[in-house]
Amino acid sequence: MAYERFPSWIPLLSVTQALTIYALGALLVGGFGPTAAFLYLLFCVWSEYRVMQMSCRHCCYFGKLCGTGKGIVAPLFTRRGDPSLFLAKAIGWKELIPDFLVFLIPVLAGLINLFFHFRFSTLGLIVLIVILALPGSGFMRTRLICANCRQRELGCPAEKLFGSKKKEGCSC
């Protein structure tokens, strides 16, 4: 059954996971200096804002506590949109590139760093961010977020991309 309002522990877990990925990412990109780390974090903020502009404003959770926590924050950054536009928008792999880049950029930075200065600490950071970003996100989406998402029941374009059976396609 979908939640009209998610229990707080799920968005709390989701926000903690996202912030941990950003922090690990900043540490890995920081190997190229503080400016690189700052620009990476700016990119992460932009990718969150982009989701609020593209998806959250048209979502049934706008102004409510959704699985990622963005629904309750979105009214601070954008105005309510049109729910029919949530269903109408097309989500392809191109639209998901910024989400993938959030963890691919630090992994790439870490691998380059490893090549020139091998350190187990850098290797550890890479393994951690990959676990959090791949199986970690997969678990959050399939078991906790999309599985209980009212918007998915109403219709979610990302589900078409990932295939309904999987319940992990999410445009947010």
**91 binding ligand SF4? (CB under 6 A):** no
| 3-state class (DSSP) for residue 162 | helix
- Number of neighbours of residue 102 by Cβ within 10 angstroms: 19
User: Which of residues 25, 31, 71, 169 is near ligand SF4 by CB under 6 A?
Assistant: 71
**113 binding ligand SF4? (CB under 6 A):** no
Q: Output 37 or 149, the one with its CB closest to ligand SF4.
A: 149
Q: Output 125 or 172, the one with its CB closest to ligand SF4.
A: 172
Name the residue number minimizing CB distance to ligand SF4. 172
- Number of neighbours of residue 52 by Cβ within 10 angstroms: 20
Task: Kindly determine how many residues on this chain lie close enough to bind ligand SF4 according to the rule CB under 6 A.
Answer: 13
CB of 40 to ligand SF4, least distance (A): 22
| 3-state class (DSSP) for residue 7 | coil
CB of 63 to ligand SF4, least distance (A): 9
Burial 5-33 (b: 16+ CB within 10 A, else e): ebeeebbebbeebbeebbebbbbbbbbee
